[in-house]
Amino acid sequence: MNKLTALELRRTSLRPYRIAALSIFPVMLGLLYLLASLPRWEPYSKDLDVLLDRDGVTGIVCVLCVFAFAMVFAAMAAKCVVEEYSGKRAVLLFSYPVSRRKILGAKLWLVFGYTVLSALTCGGAVLGIFFLTEWVFPLCPGALAAGTVVSVFLRLLWSALLAGVLGLIALWFGFRKKSVTATLTAGVILSLIACQVMSVTVGRPISWLVLLVVAAVPAALCAAGLFREVEKMEV
Partner 1 sequence: MEYAISARGLAKSFRGREVIRDCTLEIKRGEVYGFLGENGAGKTTVFKMLLGLLKPSAGEAAVLGLDCVRQSPEILRRTGSLIETPVFYEHLSARENLEIHLAYLEAIGDPEEALELVGLQETGEQPVAEFSLGMRQRLAVARAIVHRPEVLILDEPVNGLDPAGIHRMRELFLHLNREEGITILLSSHILHEVEQTASRIGILTHGRVAAEVDPQEIGKDFPGGMEAYYLQVVGEGGTGHE
Q: Minimal CA–CA distance to 78: which of 177, 189, 191, 2?
A: 177
Nearer to partner 1, 60 or 106 (CB): 106
Q: How far apart are CA 156 and CA 153, in angstroms?
A: 5
Nearer to partner 1, 100 or 177 (CB): 100
What's 145's DSSP letter? P
Site for partner 1 in 145-184 (CB under 8 A): none
**Does position 7 bind partner 1 by CB under 8 A?**
yes
Residue of 33, 53, 94, 139 that binds partner 1 (CB under 8 A)? 94
Nearer to partner 1, 104 or 161 (CB): 104
Q: CA-CA distances (angstroms) from residue 198 to 129, 139, 158, 228?
A: 23, 24, 11, 32
**Does position 92 bind partner 1 by CB under 8 A?**
yes
Q: CA-CA distances (angstroms) from residue 35 to 48, 55, 94, 148?
A: 9, 12, 50, 17
Nearer to partner 1, 6 or 210 (CB): 6
- HEC letters along 40-67: HHCCCCHHHHHHHCHHHHHHHHHHHHHH
Q: How far apart are CA 85 and CA 220, in angstroms?
A: 20
Encoded amino acid at 144, one letter: L
Q: How far apart are CA 79 and CA 98, in angstroms?
A: 21
**Does position 88 bind partner 1 by CB under 8 A?**
yes
Site for partner 1 in 12-41 (CB under 8 A): 13
Find the part of the chain contacting partner 1 (CB under 8 A) among 46-54, 94-102, 181-189, 215-223.
94-102
Q: How far is the CB of 164 from partner 1 (least distance, A)?
A: 25
Q: How far is the CB of 183 from partner 1 (least distance, A)?
A: 20
Tell me, by CB under 8 A, how many residues bind partner 1.
17
Residue of 19, 200, 220, 235 that binds partner 1 (CB under 8 A)? 235
**Does position 89 bind partner 1 by CB under 8 A?**
yes
CB atoms within 10 A of CB 132: 11
Site for partner 1 in 96-155 (CB under 8 A): 96-99
Residues in contact with partner 1 by the rule CB under 8 A: 3, 7, 10-11, 13, 88-89, 91-92, 94-99, 234-235
